Chain A
Amino acid sequence: MEWETVIGLEIHAQLATRSKIFSESSTAYGAAPNTQANLVDLGYPGVLPVLNSAAVRMAVRFGLATGATVRRRSIFARKNYFYPDLPKGYQISQYELPIVEDGSLDILLEDGSRKSIGITRAHLEEDAGKSLHEGFQGISGIDLNRAGTPLLEIVSEPDMRSAKEAIAYMKKVHTLVRYLGICDGNMQEGSFRCDANVSVRPQGQAALGTRAEIKNLNSFRFVERAINHEVVRQVGVLESGGSVVQETRLYDPDRNETRAMRSKEEANDYRYFPDPDLLPLVIDDALVEEVRGTLPELPDEKAARYCRDFELSAYDAGVLTASRDLAMYFEAVVEKLGGQPKLAANWVMGELSGALNRDGLEVDASRVPATALAGLLARIGDDTISGKLAKEVFEAMWSEGRGADEIIDAQGLRQITDSAAIEQAIDAIMAANPKQLAEYRSGKDKLFGFFVGQVMKATQGKANPAQLNELLKRKLGGA
């Protein structure tokens, strides 16, 4: 029996507003418990919600960036259930008429082809608080700082057919929300959360199988492993004659398995109804056009431009545009350099990214600013140093925070481009290695590399490689 996997993702992105969606409390992360929870957030008797304009604009931005319909009239609804981290006993969300509908994002598959993933809807809602269990016996401590933080819930169509596709989509959304400046995408801090709806069906069957919802997925790796594990689990259930239960499961990263959540006594009936404390959200064309005007160049557009104008490969363009900051860095290097995008691309994807990863830094905290890197690359271009030596210079720039020229001069790394000097070095090596010289001249071409290495060693790597090659060929050839 061939099984097909069907996956849909629900992503909750915390919107990067200063204040909460319905109250004037701060959304800053990391404050002491309940110090950023005002009367409205606490659901005190008599309080009322008032909608944050920035949250609306961010939702519209997302809608426009995904080619979705921005509903001109959307409604807030109450989702009613009891939980200690939900102060009002209901969450203000959107149900029947969400602000954004029918968008899509393209993902790049491993074979290089593109696939469009549908976005059914994206809606605004408020986040709940947090329950803390450590250090307490039989008791939980509730922190409501997070309660009321704006969320954009992004629901995909069940268009993904493998964990890899799911990750590609999730990364695409992650990149996009950061490009748009609407979410910082920090999964450790919980500002970007993902639930996966996974089901399987016999290959060729049109009807969807029963799905399980997997929660607690706060890294790309967890999502991939959880989905893969869940697929195996469901197939196992079905192949042994059982049926999949529609339920919510928690992913346990330590055991790499999903398990059913302690089920509530009965399925929750959320009793959605339009929130009478909030009026219909009406968005006019002027607002939509205004937001459209603030959209940055989106990742796909940028990558396409890199391929077209810089002749980079789709893969390289994809890597460079995965983060807006990285792309901005790259573009700054190219601009300062006045060209040579391929060189710049190699260095940004190579040395720069390597150094950032090694030191756990984000691009905007790079120890070598874009202009400095451009300066280094210029010295390769003008033959001041070789590409190989440039790597050492880069490391020195990174650790010392100095510019390329400073380091080149301080360490005396300038390339030797004086033909006479190189010839002199070659002559010395030839004289010191008569045996190898004879062997080369009698046909052992491989020894060419030996001579290159020796001259390089003698010149501390500073001989200009192109000139060295040419001169060496001539001299070894017997001129």
Chain B
Amino acid sequence: MSLTRAQVEGIARLARLQITEEQLPVYVDRLSRIIDFVEQLSAAKTDDVEPMAHPLAGQVQRLRADEVRETDQHEKYQRNAASVAAGLYLVPKVIE
């Protein structure tokens, strides 16, 4: 199943990935091949089958006690940030 250029551009935008003009045809080709390949799944009979979200059946979510256990380590963590001021992470303006 071939994806169109417009579809691939749309996906790239949703995923916030810049794909250049040169790269675009390669991506269209490769992604089309992948989607084509996974198309085989449609032949499988899955009418009464439950989707498997987790491999160990019967596992259920554990609940944690409501306790505060964290200390402030923001200075250590913010060493990895590209741009910080007054304890805030800085980004180009968010427009509502």
- Asked if chains A and B are in direct contact (CB within 8 A), the reply is yes
B77 and A42 form a contact (CB under 8 A) = yes
Report which residue of A35, A44, A56, A261 has the largest number of chain B beta carbons within 10 angstroms of its beta carbon: A35
A271: chain B residues within 8 A (beta carbon):
14
Q: Say yes or no: is A17 at the interface (Cβ < 8 Å to chain B).
A: yes
B87 and A138 form a contact (CB under 8 A) = no
Query: Which residues of B from 46 to 71 have beta carbons under 8 Å from A?
Result: 53-54, 59-70
Report which residue of A17, A136, A261 has the largest number of chain B beta carbons within 10 angstroms of its beta carbon: A136
B61: chain A residues within 8 A (beta carbon):
51, 76, 278-282
Q: Say yes or no: is A382 at the interface (Cβ < 8 Å to chain B).
A: no
Q: What are 9 A-B interface contacts by the 8 Å CB criterion?
A: A34-B89, A42-B77, A56-B63, A82-B16, A136-B93, A140-B91, A141-B85, A141-B88, A281-B60
A53: chain B residues within 8 A (beta carbon):
63-66
- CB < 8 Å: which of B63, B68, B93 contacts A138? B93
B96 and A17 form a contact (CB under 8 A) = no
- CB < 8 Å: which of B60, B67, B70, B90 contacts A141? B90
A17 and B53 form a contact (CB under 8 A) = no
B62: chain A residues within 8 A (beta carbon):
50-51, 279
Q: Say yes or no: is A359 at the interface (Cβ < 8 Å to chain B).
A: no
Query: Which residues of B from 18 to 48 have beta carbons under 8 Å from A?
Result: none
A269: chain B residues within 8 A (beta carbon):
14
Among all A-B residue pairs, the 5 with the closest Cβ atoms: A141-B88, A54-B66, A53-B63, A33-B87, A24-B69
CA of A33 to CA of B69 in the docked complex: distance in angstroms? 18
Q: Say yes or no: is B94 at the interface (Cβ < 8 Å to chain A).
A: yes
A39 and B63 form a contact (CB under 8 A) = no
B13 and A265 form a contact (CB under 8 A) = yes
B68: chain A residues within 8 A (beta carbon):
18-19, 24-26
A140 and B90 form a contact (CB under 8 A) = yes
Q: Which residue of A lies closest to B73 (CB)?
A: A38
CA of A271 to CA of B61 in the docked complex: distance in angstroms? 23
Judged by DSSP, the binding face of B is: loop
A276 and B13 form a contact (CB under 8 A) = no
Query: Which residues of A from 14 to 44 have beta carbons under 8 Å from B?
Result: 17-19, 23-26, 32-39, 42, 44
A250 and B60 form a contact (CB under 8 A) = no
Q: Chain A: how many interface residues by the 8 Å CB criterion?
A: 55
Number of CB contacts from chain A to chain B under 8 A: 119
Query: Which residues of A from 250 to 268 have beta carbons under 8 Å from B?
Result: 250, 261-262, 265-266
- CB < 8 Å: which of A38, A84, A139, A279 contacts B70? A38
- Nearest CB of A to B1, in Å: 19
Q: Which residue of A lies closest to B72 (CB)?
A: A35
B13 and A24 form a contact (CB under 8 A) = no
B10: chain A residues within 8 A (beta carbon):
266
CA of A276 to CA of B61 in the docked complex: distance in angstroms? 11
Q: Say yes or no: is A125 at the interface (Cβ < 8 Å to chain B).
A: no
Q: Say yes or no: is A187 at the interface (Cβ < 8 Å to chain B).
A: no
Chain B contact residues, CB within 8 Å of chain A:
10, 13-14, 16, 53-54, 59-70, 72-74, 77-78, 85-96
CA of A271 to CA of B10 in the docked complex: distance in angstroms? 14
CA of A261 to CA of B95 in the docked complex: distance in angstroms? 9
CA of A122 to CA of B37 in the docked complex: distance in angstroms? 40
Report which residue of B13, B67, B69, B88 has the largest number of chain A beta carbons within 10 angstroms of its beta carbon: B88
CA of A262 to CA of B94 in the docked complex: distance in angstroms? 10
- Nearest CB of A to B3, in Å: 16
A140 and B93 form a contact (CB under 8 A) = yes
Q: Which residue of B lies closest to A274 (CB)?
A: B53
Q: Say yes or no: is A83 at the interface (Cβ < 8 Å to chain B).
A: yes
B70 and A25 form a contact (CB under 8 A) = yes
Known: A35-B74, A83-B94, A84-B91. A18 touches B67 (CB 8 A): yes
Q: Say yes or no: is A373 at the interface (Cβ < 8 Å to chain B).
A: no
B78: chain A residues within 8 A (beta carbon):
34
- Nearest CB of A to B82, in Å: 12
Q: Say yes or no: is A116 at the interface (Cβ < 8 Å to chain B).
A: no
CA of A132 to CA of B93 in the docked complex: distance in angstroms? 9
- Nearest CB of B to A444, in Å: 72
A85: chain B residues within 8 A (beta carbon):
94
A274: chain B residues within 8 A (beta carbon):
53
- CB < 8 Å: which of B13, B60, B90, B95 contacts A136? B90
B96 and A262 form a contact (CB under 8 A) = yes
A25: chain B residues within 8 A (beta carbon):
68, 70
Q: Say yes or no: is A144 at the interface (Cβ < 8 Å to chain B).
A: yes
Q: Say yes or no: is A417 at the interface (Cβ < 8 Å to chain B).
A: no
Report which residue of B65, B66, B95 has the largest number of chain A beta carbons within 10 angstroms of its beta carbon: B66
CA of A282 to CA of B63 in the docked complex: distance in angstroms? 10
A51 and B77 form a contact (CB under 8 A) = no
Q: Say yes or no: is A213 at the interface (Cβ < 8 Å to chain B).
A: no
Known: A24-B69, A266-B13. A144 touches B92 (CB 8 A): no
